[in-house]
Amino acid sequence: MKHYINFAIVLLLFSSKGFSQNFTAKEIAVNTLIEGTLLVPSAVEQPALAIIIAGSGPVDRNGNQNFARNNSLKKLAEGLTNNGIATFRYDKRTIKLIATGKLDNTIMFDDFVTDAIDVVNYFKSQNTYSKIYIIGHSQGSLIGMIAAEKDVDGFISIAGASQTIDKIIIKQVEQTAPAYLEDTKKIFSILQEGKTTSNYPPVLSSFLGKDIQPFMINWMQYNPQDILKSLQIPILIVNGTNDLQVGVEDANRLKDSNPSAELKLIDKMNHVLFSIEGDDLVNFKSYNESHHKVTPELIDTISGFITK
């Protein structure tokens, strides 16, 4: 039995070498609300830095939230850093506010933009990195492109919407709950005037309740196509063909708004960056599965864009 144990230890040692990481990790607090993980490649003296911004909801630095724990952004960050690019991914401020019991309805979309700009300024002040890029996923794409106006070296949109949030929600309601389409349109027409309303069906309260409406008013003022059009830095637009939330038509519209941008459509990649075979149920199920790998083509595409 002793010989078998020794042999197992030898196998473990060799396996550990085979899977060693080529980077160092450091936990950083940018301010009292924003904390994240910095990964720095071991063999690169002055690497480029990619700041990764998560999508909507209380999303942590790894891309996880309740009932959607997949570690997609962690895997993306590690893949990029293993390709020689430093990465910083951070918890959205809602994570800290929930943990401290301070989350309330005063939070605005602009707060997320402020956080992204604070992160950019934090790393720019260090003069440590050769270039700084922003990677925004889903809602993070819009946040990132607004923050990218503050003098960064490039912007990457992953699964970024091309329309204002009111148009997106109206389309989703039309497809999934058409009985509430007119109610939804009426609410948004009021919000467009900067006003709130208590007159709505209870079924819509989860995303159009009165406490959420100020956030929506703030969010819907931003048109991704207009913002992307104004950027005069290298831009990469990426979308998966199996994305059930943001279709390739969004990527094409973003590309049309800024013809100098690069466009990459990745076959079979879904919204959480995994390659998915199968139907919509399999696709949605992967949102809460952490065993999938981030699509290698995504990591290669972003790495090539940043390092070229």
The predicted-structure confidence for 66-83, as pLDDT tens digits, reads as follows 989 999 999 999 999 999
Range of the domain at 210: 165-221
Task: Give residue-wise pLDDT tens across range 209-266.
Answer: 999 999 999 999 999 999 999 999 999 999 999 999 999 999 999 999 999 999 999 9
Please list the ranges in the chain whose pLDDT falls under 70.
1-21
Residues 68 and 32 in one domain: yes
- pTM listed for this prediction: 0.92
Report helix, strand or coil for 272: coil
Residues 109 and 31 in one domain: yes
Q: Residue 236: which of 163, 149, 150, 145 has the closest Cα?
A: 145
Residues 264 and 171 in one domain: no
Residue 228 counted as domain residue: no
Residue 214 counted as domain residue: yes
- Of 180, 200, 221, the residue at which a domain comes to its end is 221
Residues 141 and 85 in one domain: yes
Residues 155 and 101 in one domain: yes
In this prediction, residue 43 carries a pLDDT of: 87
In this prediction, residue 84 carries a pLDDT of: 97
Residues 81 and 127 in one domain: yes
Residue 261 counted as domain residue: yes
CA distances from 134 to 11, 90, 117, 124, 150 (A): 40, 12, 10, 12, 11
Residues 148 and 101 in one domain: yes
How many domains would you assign to the chain?
A: 2
In this prediction, residue 9 carries a pLDDT of: 34
Residue 300 counted as domain residue: yes
Q: Is residue 298 packed enough to be buried (19+ CB in 10 Å), middle (13-18) or exposed (0-12)?
A: buried
Residues 180 and 263 in one domain: no
In this prediction, residue 67 carries a pLDDT of: 87
In this prediction, residue 20 carries a pLDDT of: 53
Q: Alpha helix locations (H) across the chain?
A: 2-18, 72-81, 93-99, 109-124, 139-147, 165-176, 181-191, 205-208, 213-219, 224-230, 248-257, 280-285, 296-307
